[in-house]
Amino acid sequence: MPHLAEGIDRFQREIFPAKAGLFARLATVHRPRTLFIGCSDARVVPELITQTDPGELFVIRTAGNLVPAHTPGADAVSAGVEYAVAVLGVRDVVVCGHSACGAMTALAEGHDLASAPAVAAWLRHADASLARTAAAGRQGDVAALVRENVDAQLANLATHPSVARALAAGDVRLHGWVFDIAAGSVEELDTTARPAVAA
């Protein structure tokens, strides 16, 4: 991984000194305002898209930007959501889908995932997204599934007690975005019409 070592070297020589004051503050303070939940896809880089500095975004990235609905058991995603909302007190939560999403493409086009059983099982958290897309007569439409999936994951998010509490108190707002890789654009979806996620 020589290019990674070169990157670290360049960071230490050029980037870190230029932001020395910021990193000095961040050494003892972790107070992000936003929880950003995006896809693990290497092309969707939250800090690049939003031009944010270290310390600004608390980031959770999962395949298909999926947020499993709350269950009594703990998992990495629910722990991250709870920590960001209940402990760090983020004021905004973004679920960001994106164009050409491999996870959404596999689901929309019914790819055979027999060789990737963990992926297949994980993607079941998009069952409601698939159902919504089919109900809208858009079965097989990847772009439609990407959008429905953002909405469905926002609804899942609202089932987490920390989020439900913050929503009820008006302490947090939920946002649905779709990033277009080819255009570099971000569309904010209208989530206000959906009572389950409205602040």
> Which pairing describes strands 92-98 and 57-62: parallel, antiparallel, or unpaired?
unpaired
CA-to-CA separations, 135 to 70, 130, 139, 145, 192, in angstroms, rounded: 24, 9, 8, 11, 20
Q: How far apart are CA 163 and CA 149, in angstroms?
A: 18
Between 41 and 151, name the residue whose CB sits nearer to Zn ion.
Answer: 41
Please give the DSSP secondary-structure letter assigned to residue 143.
Answer: H
Residues marked active site are found at 39, 41, 43, 98, 101
Between 146 and 157, name the residue whose CB sits nearer to Zn ion.
Answer: 146
Between 123 and 174, name the residue whose CB sits nearer to Zn ion.
Answer: 123
Give least dist CB 61 to Zn ion, A.
9
Q: CA 120: distance to chain centroid? A: 19
Between 46 and 85, name the residue whose CB sits nearer to Zn ion.
Answer: 46
Give least dist CB 44 to Zn ion, A.
7
CA-to-CA separations, 151 to 129, 162, 197, in angstroms, rounded: 8, 19, 9
Of 38, 67, 50, 46, the C-alpha closest to 154 is 67
Between 94 and 172, name the residue whose CB sits nearer to Zn ion.
Answer: 94
Give least dist CB 46 to Zn ion, A.
13
User: What residue ranges bind Zn ion (CB under 5 A)?
Assistant: 39, 41, 101
Q: How far apart are CA 159 and CA 149, in angstroms?
A: 16
Give least dist CB 181 to Zn ion, A.
10
Q: Do 25 and 58 form a contact (C-beta atoms < 8 A)?
A: no
Give least dist CB 97 to Zn ion, A.
7
Torsion sign over Cα 115, 38, 152, 89: positive
